[in-house]
C-alpha cells in the first residue's frame, strides 16, 4: 500500500481523473505504436475499473465506439458501452457485435490478469489462457487488418502463444511500457494487421 501511494503514476492518475494507473500503460503504448485514432471501434476486454476504456473513448472522439467487457461491475463511463459478462459467452459476443453497430471492431484491447496464487506454473498457465481468450475474441470481432493489444506474462508457454498470434497477424511485437513496474513480469503483445484468411467466419462459428 505504501508503494502504491508513493507511485508517481497513481498520483498522476488521481490528478487527471483516470480510473487507474493502467491508463498510462495504454497511453505510452499508443504513443509508440499509434494504435488508436478518432472514429475507431474498440473492444476492451477485462475493462474494470475502466482506465483503458476511459482513455480509448477520449482518443476515438469524434465518431468512435468503445465497448467494455468484464465479469465485474464497472461504473458508467462517458462514450463507453459496458457489457457485463464473460468474453467467451456467445451471448456476450452477440451483445458486443450489436454495440459495434456492424459487428466488427478495429482494435481489441485486453489488460486481463489472473488472480495470482503465488504458484508460478499455475499463474503462468492462467495468464497464457487469458491471452488466448483475447486472441480468439479478436479473431471473431476484428475486421481484416485490425489490431490486438494484449497483456502477456513472461514464462512457460508464452512462446507458443506468440506463435499463434504470429499466425493470425502480419506484425507481432512485445513491448513493456515505462508505466509497467520494473519488477513485474508483464509485457504487452502488439499485434497489427489481422490476416484476411485468418478471420473466423462469424456465421459459421455461431452454427458450429
Catalytic residue among 11, 151, 176, 192: 151
Q: Is 151 a catalytic residue?
A: yes
Q: Dig out the grid coordinates for 149 from the structure.
A: 493489444
The dihedral through the CA atoms of 87, 184, 55, 6 has a sign that is: positive
Strand 80-84 with 65-70, pairing: parallel
d(CA 194, CA 26) in angstroms, rounded, equals 20
Three-state DSSP class for residue 129: helix
Which of these, 86, 112, 117, lies nearest to 186 by C-alpha position?
A: 112
- Helix (H/G/I), strand (E/B), else coil: 146: strand
Q: How far apart are CA 22 and CA 6, in angstroms?
A: 15
Q: Cis omega before residue 49 (within 30°)?
A: yes
The whole-angstrom separation of Cα 33 and Cα 175 is 10
- The label of the residue with cell 503514476 reads 9
Q: Tell me how far apart the alpha carbons of residues 7 and 184 are, in angstroms, rounded to a whole number.
A: 14
Cell numbers 506454473 correspond to: 121
- Name the residues annotated as catalytic: 151
Amino acid at each position: 500500500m505504501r508503494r502504491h501511494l508513493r507511485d508517481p503514476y497513481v498520483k498522476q492518475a488521481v490528478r487527471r481523473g483516470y480510473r487507474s494507473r493502467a491508463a498510462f500503460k495504454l497511453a505510452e503504448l499508443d504513443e509508440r505504436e499509434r494504435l488508436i485514432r478518432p472514429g475507431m471501434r474498440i473492444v476492451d476486454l477485462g475493462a474494470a475499473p475502466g482506465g483503458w476504456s476511459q482513455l480509448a473513448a477520449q482518443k476515438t472522439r469524434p465518431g468512435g465506439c468503445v465497448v467494455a467487457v468484464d465479469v465485474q461491475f464497472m461504473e458508467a463511463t462517458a462514450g463507453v458501452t459496458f457489457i457485463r459478462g464473460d468474453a467467451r459467452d456467445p451471448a456476450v459476443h452477440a451483445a458486443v457485435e450489436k454495440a459495434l453497430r456492424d459487428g466488427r471492431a478495429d482494435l481489441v484491447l485486453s489488460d486481463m490478469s489472473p488472480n495470482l496464487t503465488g504458484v508460478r506454473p499455475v499463474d503462468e498457465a492462467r495468464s497464457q489462457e487469458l491471452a488466448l481468450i483475447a486472441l480468439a475474441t479478436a479473431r471473431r470481432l476484428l475486421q481484416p487488418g485490425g489490431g490486438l493489444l494484449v497483456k502477456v506474462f513472461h514464462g512457460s508457454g508464452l512462446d507458443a502463444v506468440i506463435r499463434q498470434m504470429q499466425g493470425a497477424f502480419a506484425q507481432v511485437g512485445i513491448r513493456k511500457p515505462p508505466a509497467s513496474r520494473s519488477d513485474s513480469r508483464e509485457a504487452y503483445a502488439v499485434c497489427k494487421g489481422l490476416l484476411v484468411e485468418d478471420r473466423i467466419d462469424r456465421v459459421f462459428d455461431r452454427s458450429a
